[in-house]
């Protein structure tokens, strides 16, 4: 076997896992904080792998990612993340629309919900509370405004408890057709959420602290743009706090 054949086999070994993941689309950018502070703004594209949606669930319109909401399910990031800052803009296109982004996620949907375990950063449209009255009572608007909670098997401690979930302390969310901006800081099991320029929510002591990002389709059209992940230095982590690698 000559050198050319050896290099060819090594190339296959390096790239085959990424190819086998069947990237559905590219959306967003990944950067590292260390490079940013020295003026290097180089970015890599974020690649997304289908979990249990279809190639018709998602499409691009210029720089905007359109999620039509069906079937209910998620796509996941190609790689896992531990400590990072995430910025994203989103807008619902239907009143009462439901969606969100999972962080530190296992990307393994449960049968009863088609959704995985992780920490969900909630994205509900404001009219959801009017469409989902409970015993004749309208749920608090804080429910739709950037709730944070451990979904599935993931457990968290809420900063602003509404049961096991954490609600925002101020309503800054805009309604259907209007862009909202989330800044989500995820470090060593703690998450802080800023909505449209102000930090208003948080959780701590997440049982999972390294995992995938998942974009959620949950029955209604939502649009995303300007997604950026800024990776931070890793912290101390236990094996049981890391999701299974897919």
Does the pLDDT value for residue 6 go beyond 50?
Answer: no
pLDDT given for residue 22 in this prediction: 86
Q: Are 173 and 195 in contact (CB under 8 A)?
A: yes
pLDDT given for residue 163 in this prediction: 93
Lowest mean pLDDT, pick from 15-29, 97-111, 223-237: 15-29
pLDDT given for residue 30 in this prediction: 97
Lowest mean pLDDT, pick from 107-116, 136-145, 230-239: 136-145
**What homologous superfamily is domain 23-241 in, according to CATH?**
Exo-inulinase; domain 1 (2.60.120.560)
Q: How far apart are CA 141 and CA 50, in angstroms?
A: 32
The total number of residues written for the chain in this structure: 246
pTM over 0.75: yes
Write the DSSP string, 32-101. Answer: EHHHHTTT----EEEEEEESSS-TTTEEEETTEEEE---SSEEEEESS-BSSEEEEEEEEESSTT-EEEE
Average pLDDT, the chain: 91
Does the pLDDT value for residue 227 go beyond 90?
Answer: yes
pLDDT bin (cut points 50, 70, 90) of residue 21 is low
pLDDT bin (cut points 50, 70, 90) of residue 143 is confident
Q: How far apart are CA 145 and CA 173, in angstroms?
A: 6
**Residue ranges covered by each domain of the chain:** 23-241
Does the pLDDT value for residue 116 go beyond 80?
Answer: yes
pLDDT bin (cut points 50, 70, 90) of residue 7 is very low
pLDDT in tens, 24-78: 999 999 999 998 888 888 899 999 999 999 999 999 999 999 999 999 999 999 9
The residues that bridge with 111 in the sheet, in sequence order, are none
């Amino acid at each position: 076997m000559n050198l050319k054949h050896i290099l060819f086999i090594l190339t296959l070994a390096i790239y085959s896992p990424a190819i086998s993941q069947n990237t559905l689309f590219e959306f967003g950018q990944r950067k590292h904080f260390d490079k940013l502070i020295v003026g290097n703004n180089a970015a890599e594209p974020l690649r997304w792998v289908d979990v249990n949606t279809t190639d018709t669930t998602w499409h691009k319109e210029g720089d905007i990612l359109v999620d039509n909401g069906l079937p209910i399910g998620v796509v996941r990031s190609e790689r896992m993340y531990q400590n990072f800052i995430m910025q994203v803009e989103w807008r619902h296109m239907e009143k009462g629309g439901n969606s969100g982004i999972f962080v530190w996620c296992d990307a393994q949907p449960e049968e009863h919900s088609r959704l995985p375990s992780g920490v969900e950063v909630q994205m509900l449209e404001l009219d959801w509370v009017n469409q989902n009255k409970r015993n004749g009572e309208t749920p608090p608007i804080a429910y739709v405004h950037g709730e944070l909670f451990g979904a599935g098997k993931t457990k968290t401690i809420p900063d602003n408890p509404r049961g096991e979930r954490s609600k925002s302390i101020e309503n800054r969310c805009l309604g259907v057709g209007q862009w909202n901006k989330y800044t989500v800081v995820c470090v060593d099991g703690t998450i802080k959420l800023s909505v449209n320029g102000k930090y208003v929510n948080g959780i701590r002591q997440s049982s999972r602290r390294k995992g995938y990002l998942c974009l959620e389709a949950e029955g209604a059209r939502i649009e995303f743009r300007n997604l950026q992940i800024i990776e931070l230095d890793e912290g101390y982590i236990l094996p049981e706090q890391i999701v299974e690698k897919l």
